[in-house]
Structure 1
Amino acid sequence: MLAIDQGTTNTKAVLVAADGAVLATGSAPVALSTPQPGWAEQDADDIWQSVLHAISRCLATAAPVDIVGIALSTQRESVVGWNELGKAVGPVIGWQDVRTSAWCSTLPPSVDTLVRERTGLRVDAMFSAPKLHWLLEHAQADHVGTVDSWLIHRLTGCREHLTDAGNASRTLLYDVLDLDWSTSLLEAFDVPRSVLPEVRASNGGFGTTSGVPGLRDGIPIVAVLADSHAAMYGQGCTQAGMIKATYGTGSSVMTPVDSFVADGCTLAWLTDKPLYALEGNIVSSGAALAWTTELLGLPDVGALVELAATVPDAGGVVLVPAFAGLGAPHWDRNARAALTGMSSATTRAHVARACVDAVAHQICDITDTIASSGTTPRRLRADGGATVSDLLMQTQADLLGHPVEAADVAEISALGTAELAWTTLGETTAWATTRTTRLYEPTLAPEPRATRRTHWAEAVAAVRTP
């Protein structure tokens, strides 16, 4: 299975055998531009070229294999438009982009109520519908979709316009109960159904390859998942109480639930039946690490974490990385970043440590919310680039007061969608049960844990709008 994982900053291609073994990998970077404050854009053709480069690099290191199918996972919520010739019109508007925040605030409360009742989400500039509204006003697009839809279009020789139900559920336009585009929501956001892709089950088949360099024609696209959903599948989180956190540019915390709830819920995937999950989205996680790295003049995030490890704690310093406002559970786009608690004794190491703490605190904010909804967390399964840091993972366990299992594979989203694809083809899989992990047990006593959590909550409250 050729698994393609298209993320915010890079694209990975992974050859995965039926037993879950990774046979070869390749990757390619993807640029992100910020032409104005609050804007985040990518080039659709650059994303497609990154897919081709990743595939080429993967196949160049592999022994000859027969690729029986393609599995695709992609960044969510980002949108792209293209014309009848298959040419992208306008930029890819990234999930981090908040140019539509002011417009969102003009929508009547009834729209937010409808969104919550039919999608489980809320009106926010992170999701696709406001971006699609903006894109359709500023570009002549015959077709629009999320990144998965764009890549399916290109992989199939510009023949198909399709998406999976999980990606569709992140648009604010897809009714996750009726499992169809919602006429009422389309009208609320002024997005015509005619420009949207057909929605299929996550393993419903998405056409076959045509004209893709390095690949034969006719390879079926077997399964498609949003990247955070694919990570949850790859982590084996399929039952209530199992929580996974993906540490990327932002972070996603998800836990399956037995049925839909009208707040903070998402459709993780649709196979023979839908699987719903509670989810919280953090806007700035890896982005906070990158920002602090640049602020301190360090060469890379690894150097930041090394510096943070030279002090036992942040010395009272708290960083709230609300560079584009706050995501879950606060959802305050008007909040602004702050670095507080400094004194004459504060060093660069304390600031670095405060950044590591901030990544972990934000995860805790969401798991606390999940716990308050009646789902009792047992342990956290962690994945994503930042999980290579022992300091971050131990800090996470200490602030949670629960064990953290960090995946030992960097390609968990690719493996998740590959596992769904192999299962669809009839293979018996249970890869998560055999995968090695690193276990971090909490070592912080309850009282200092509570103190640190209180200081964080106070700092968050200070940066929020009244």
Structure 2
Amino acid sequence: MTSILAIDAGTTGVTALVVSETGEIVARGYQEFAQHFPKPGWVEHVPEEIWQATLEACRAALRGLDRAELAAIGLTNQRETVVLWDRETLGSPRRAIVWQDRRTASMCGDLAAHEDRVRELTGLRLDPYFSATKLAWIREHEPHTWALVESGRYAVGTVDSYLIARMTRGLEHVTDVSNASRTLLFDLTRGDWSDELCALFGVPRDALPELVPNWGELAVTDARSFLDLELPVAGIAGDQQAALFGQTCFSPGEVKCTYGTGSFILTNTGTTLERSASGLLSTAAWRSPSGELTYALEGSIFVTGAAVQWLRDGLQIVGSAAETAAIAATVPSSEGVVFVPALTGLGAPHWDPTARGLIVGLTRGTTRAHLVRATLEAIAFEVRDVVATMPPVASLKVDGGAAANDLLCQLQADQLALSVSRPRYVETTGLGAAFLAGLGVGVWSSYDELRETWALDRTFSPAGDRATADADYRRWLAAVERAKAWA
């Protein structure tokens, strides 16, 4: 049976999936890598550690399988994170600056006069979230490193570009429109890098990767570099667009929410570039080999699953993310405790990089169960914030690790007053990469074939008192206002 190796290079680790031609996940591998926080608001990764985690996750997924059945590789990745590497040695001169990093907040303020033009060209906001200000920061603070970017010795890219360079022994420097459209350097209407934006942020266009379609034979791995595999890299997409594809949201108006490190709600807008006045981002979803560009509107929430990780690693009040549902279910409500997890600022629809995390409503009777429940409620509230700014939504497909949490899914349905559908496989980011790669080499021939692989696990319908849900949400909004403009 033909299968696809899908690599999901996320923010905290790399997942490798082997996906069969029937859409079944037949094997998995996972490897975490370290998070580095050198200063408050700074978040960095070591590129070599991402690469080694990729190799280890793939080794684990392929252990005991017949590699001759592999037809292609699909790749999806954390977006906006910027990586520099030496084109000859493939070593990186510095750590990657991660999408969550807030160090360029003041730089964004200094560029405020260009906000309207940047938004017109890119569909994005001037926010530290995106790649270009991170590159401008390196140019300003590390001139010796940047000189080698300008000379052509160092390449610049997102994580997908870096991993493909490693997989191909440096022969390919490519990316796709879904990743490019998150850099602040991509003209969303023209579908190409913008000379105007490159000049604004001081990024040499020659350092950027070549733009390729989201599926097709895009590159070929070098067996000596990548696990003795010589296979086409036939699908590429940023993680949220890959999840939209993996949820088979191929028609305009279809919406998905991925619960990961952050949460990201995307709605397919088809070939129409729609713009939002309510804090949503316009973005590229994917581009076919024929050149047709599909767009999406996106609400980006920076911290959701990372808040649960903080309960585990920072406060050490839970042993694992999996136990949060059981702990939270021991109390009927959070008893007025509200947690605003603005640990790296606020994304959509508030867009405040100076906001910081806040817990309010504590009393002598507050227990860890109340705080854990408040954390799950915060995720549901944040998603409601975004959905309220979207065109009318009929139902919501959910995925990502936290989608396995039944209590969270029920809280989400209650807050949205919508049905919430969870697929059999919640790893739809990796599935989307596999679907793209399978289209690229002919394992699947159409969107209709891919839709047939999607299977429902459970639908959560709204329950409980609507007035109570609305009152809880109003209290959340009041807490959000108190968290803003803190740093």
Per the normalisation by structure 1, the TM-score is: 0.95
- From 24, 38, 41, the equivalent of 2:27 is 24
Per the alignment, residue 265 of structure 1 pairs with 282
CA-CA distance at 1:20 after TM superposition: 1.2
Instruction: Note if contact 1:23-1:62 (Cα within 8 Å) is conserved in structure 2.
Output: no
Deviates more, 1:202-211 or 1:317-326: 202-211
Question: Are the counterparts in 1 of residues 174 and 209 from structure 2 also a CA contact under 8 Å?
Answer: yes
Question: Which residue matches 1:288?
Answer: 307
> Partners in 1 of 2:329 and 2:204 — Cα distance?
52
Does residue 44 in structure 1 map to residue 61 in structure 2? no
Secondary structure in 2 matching 1:281: strand
Does residue 1:7 correspond to 2:10, yes or no? yes
Q: Please point out which of 428, 432, 435 is paired with 1:412.
A: 428
Report the Cα offset of residue 432 of structure 1: 5.8
1: distance between equivalents of 2:232 and 2:413?
A: 41
Is residue 34 from structure 1 mapped to residue 12 from structure 2 by the alignment? no
Does 2:441 correspond to 1:425? Answer: yes
Per-residue deviation, residues 160-209 of structure 1 (Å, max 9, x unmatched): 11101110000010111101111111111111101111111111432211
Corresponding residue of 1:395: 411
Task: Report the secondary structure of 1:387's partner residue.
Answer: helix
- Helix, strand or coil at the partner of 2:23: coil
User: What per-residue deviation string (whole Å, max 9, x for no partner) do you get for residues 384-429 of structure 1?
Assistant: 1111111111111111110111222143111112112212323232
Cα distance between partner residues in 2 of 1:424 and 1:204: 4
Does the aligned pair in 2 maintain the 1:235–1:432 contact within 8 Å?
no
Q: 2:207 aligns with which of 195, 199, 212?
A: 195
Matches within 5 A, 1:38-117: 38-85=41-88, 86-109=90-113, 111-117=114-120
Residue identity opposite 1:98 in structure 2: R
Q: Deviations over 1:274-316 (max 9, x none)?
A: 1111101111101111223342532222333322110111111
**Residue type of the alignment partner of 1:76:** R
Amino acid in the other structure paired with 2:91: K
Name the SS for the 2:17 alignment partner: strand
Question: Identity of counterpart residues, as a percentage?
Answer: 39
SS at match of 1:298: coil
SS in 2 for 1:136: helix
Q: Which residue identity does 1:134 align to in structure 2?
A: W
Tell me what 2:350 maps to. 330
SS at match of 1:459: helix
Task: Give runs of aligned pairs for residues 25-424 of structure 1, distance below 5 A.
Answer: 25-85=28-88, 86-109=90-113, 111-137=114-140, 138=142, 139=145, 140-141=148-149, 142-210=154-222, 211-217=224-230, 219-258=231-270, 259-263=272-276, 264-271=281-288, 272=290, 273-293=292-312, 294-295=314-315, 297-370=317-390, 375-424=391-440
Q: Distance in 2 between matches of 1:442 and 1:15?
A: 35
Are residues 64 and 167 of structure 1, via their aligned partners in 2, closer, same or farther at CA, if it must alter by over 3 Å?
Answer: closer
Greater mean alpha carbon deviation, residues 242-251 or residues 297-306? 297-306
Deviation at 1:431, TM superposition (A): 4.2
Work out the number of aligned pairs and report it.
460
Greater shift, 115-124 or 287-296, is seen at 287-296
Structure 2 unaligned blocks of 5 or more? none
Q: Is the 8 A contact 2:247 2:454 kept in 1?
A: no
Contact 2:342/2:356, CA 8 A, preserved across alignment: yes
Distance across 2 between alignment mates of 1:213 and 1:349: 45
List 4+ stretches of structure 1 deviating above 4 A. none
SS in 2 for 1:305: helix
Contact 1:296 1:348 (8 Å CA) reproduced: no
Judging changes above 3 Å, is the alpha-carbon distance between structure 1 residues 23 and 348 closer, same or farther for their aligned structure 2 residues? closer
SS state at 1:69 partner: strand
Q: Distance in 2 between matches of 1:162 and 1:222?
A: 12
- Per the TM alignment, residue 343 of structure 1 is displaced from its structure 2 partner at its CA by 2.3
Gaps of 5+ in 1: none
8 Å CA contact 2:260–2:305 kept in 1: the answer is yes
Q: RMSD between aligned alpha carbons? A: 1.6
Aligned partners of 2:216 and 2:441 also within 8 Å: no
Cα gap change, 1:156 to 1:452, in 2 (>3 Å) = same
- For 1:151, the aligned partner's letter is L
